[in-house]
Amino acid sequence: MLTRIGITGGIGSGKSLVAEMLRSSGAVVFSADEIASDLTENDENIKRKIVKVFGAQSYHSSTNLLERSYISDIVFSDPQKLHALNSIVHPAVIQAIEQQCAQADNPAAPYVGIEAAIMFESGLYKKLDYVLGVVSDDEKRIDRVKKRDGFTEKEIMRRMNSQLPADQLVEKSDFIVYNNETKDALSANVAFFHSLFLTLPPKRKQ
């Protein structure tokens, strides 16, 4: 049974970069966001539930792909709608992650990493052994997301405010990596944690 390491952090914190660094070091790493995206595009049951809550305009009329901007505008302005969306998607994501982790349980990988933005809110952390939180100053996070996604500061703040505050993430995580300096500095810190994760046994019940 491979050790499962959660990788979490708020928008713009650099958690995806940390996940990619761990993947490059040899770990098998899954992305909850990628799994959720696949499910909302291809799982007919989930699609029906989303349309029931958010309307037929939730999916593009010709491509049948999720209208992400439309959904984002709603859920990041209405906590109840965000909760409704999460209630539809998260159980299926956790089930899919469990299946993928089970398939990855082989000697070829040193451990499994699971990247997820809302690790604690969704309850996913209960399926893992340890959680690595990625933390960065708000100013740096905002600047990164502006450059990456082209969002306005108001749009970014709405997303940040919908996620677990940094102090609570630090309290709940087993380990913390700070991403306020250079990419090389982050890489060195991640290399340390990779070496540590190689030594950690699973602690969850089978």
Q: Is a pLDDT exceeding 70 seen at residue 107?
A: no
| Range 66-84 average pLDDT | 91
Q: Is a pLDDT exceeding 80 seen at residue 104?
A: no
At 85, the amino acid letter reads L
Domain ranges (residues) in the chain: 4-197
Q: Is a pLDDT exceeding 70 seen at residue 109?
A: yes
In this prediction, residue 108 has a pLDDT band, given cuts at 50, 70 and 90, of low
Q: In this predicted model, what pLDDT tens digit does every residue of 170-184 receive, in sequence order?
A: 999 999 999 999 999
Q: In this predicted model, what pLDDT tens digit does every residue of 8-50 receive, in sequence order?
A: 999 999 999 999 999 999 899 999 999 999 999 999 999 999 9
Q: What is the pTM of this model?
A: 0.91
Q: In this predicted model, what pLDDT tens digit does every residue of 6-19 receive, in sequence order?
A: 999 999 999 999 99
At the top level of CATH, the class of 4-197 is: alpha beta
Q: Is a pLDDT exceeding 60 seen at residue 206?
A: no
Query: Rounded to whole angstroms, how far apart are CA atoms 188 and 73?
Result: 37
At 9, the amino acid letter reads G
| Range 112-128 average pLDDT | 92
Query: Rounded to whole angstroms, how far apart are CA atoms 90 and 144?
Result: 26
In this prediction, residue 53 has a pLDDT band, given cuts at 50, 70 and 90, of very high
Mean per-residue pLDDT over the chain, rounded: 91
Q: In this predicted model, what pLDDT tens digit does every residue of 193-204 receive, in sequence order?
A: 999 999 998 887
Q: How much is the pLDDT for 90?
A: 93
